[in-house]
Amino acid sequence: MTQDKNDSIIQVTDLHKSFGKLEVLAGITENVKRGEVVAVIGPSGSGKSTFLRCLNLLEQPTSGHILVDGVDITDKKTDINKVRQGMGMVFQHFNLFPHLKVIDNITLAPLQLKVFSNKESARKAGMELLERVGLADKADSYPVQLSGGQKQRIAIARALAMSPRIMLFDEPTSALDPEMVGEVLKVMTDLAREGMTMVIVTHEMGFAREAADRVLFMDGGIIAEQGRPEEIFSNPKNPRTREFLSKVL
């Protein structure tokens, strides 16, 4: 494995996914470079979330290959659990564990997967993560006691607890009240600045424009257009991109 900043950490080749007769992904070939922040935009039903969920095999692709750090995760022999430990995921609906305190939400996986040998060191690392998302005072709260924005920041901290090299975000701000979007985006922006590789399905065009290195526009199960945010947003070439952006901007 090279440490070249330009090499691809995710390589997707001819990815197809069908649910029954419905073809959701119709052949996607795309690479994500180490440290790159990629925003995936597009109308609903375009396959954005399915594409993202294929990247850590929450959805099983119908055909095609996905290489993460050179390992083909579509190969049945690959230990997907091992690969997933290096890929954090943040969901639209947070999916915090309601029966566990905030700190235990964060330390559950690192403890079970033996990243830490004892509770104290796991808690210490967990507290540092909470510090990072500005919620250290909520360590002993239960998720139900938090606001949506706080829940999502905890969810990000939880995903970071396994020290992933890649973070996947599935519409992380779509379920939030408008006044809470900012606090979550700030945490994500910080993360991007620190050099985390991120793939973000989002409806936040302003954020995509500011924080992303590259924007993928998906429509009808394919990547209809992709490029630097300023190109996509200021000078889209594909008429479908233009139509979509005219609706959302």
Query: Which residues would be at the binding site for other proteins (CB under 8 A)?
Result: 56, 58, 81-89, 91, 93, 95-100, 108-109, 112-113, 142, 144-145, 155, 158-159, 161-162, 168
Computed on alpha carbons and rounded to an integer, the radius of gyration of the chain in Å comes to 18
Q: Contact, 97 vs 109, CB < 8 A?
A: no
Q: Which two tokens stand for residue 112?
A: 């079970």
**Helix, coil or strand: residue 130:** helix
Q: Which C-beta is closer to other proteins: that of 144 or that of 249? A: 144
Q: Which is nearer to other proteins, 92 or 189 (CB)?
A: 92
Q: How far is the CB of 112 from other proteins (least distance, A)?
A: 5
- Among 232, 184, 187, smallest CA distance to 208 is for 232
Beta carbon of residue 98, minimum distance to other proteins (angstroms, whole number): 6
Of 160 and 208, the one with the shorter C-beta distance to other proteins is 160
The CB-of-68 to other proteins minimum distance in angstroms stands at 13
Q: Least separation, in Å, of the C-beta of 162 and other proteins?
A: 6
CB 90, min distance to other proteins, A: 9
How many Å apart are CA 232 and CA 65, to the nearest integer?
27
In the chain the first and final C-alpha atoms are separated, in Å, by 41
The answer to whether the beta carbons of residues 232 and 226 sit under 8 Å apart is: yes
- Quick one: 112 or 246, whose CB is closer to other proteins? 112
Task: Report the alpha-carbon distance of residue 217 to residue 33 in Å, rounded.
Answer: 17
Query: Quick one: CA dihedral 114, 119, 124, 128, positive or negative?
Result: positive
Please, how many CA atoms are within 13 Å of residue 29, restricted to the half-sphere of its CB? 2
- Closest CB 80 distance from other proteins, rounded Å: 9
Residue 26 or residue 109: which is nearer to other proteins going by CB? 109
Q: What residue type is assigned to position 51 of the chain?
A: F
**Closer CB to other proteins, 28 or 111, in the complex:** 111
Q: How far is the CB of 140 from other proteins (least distance, A)?
A: 11
Smaller CB distance to other proteins: residue 167 or 205?
167
CB 204 within 8 A of CB 32: no
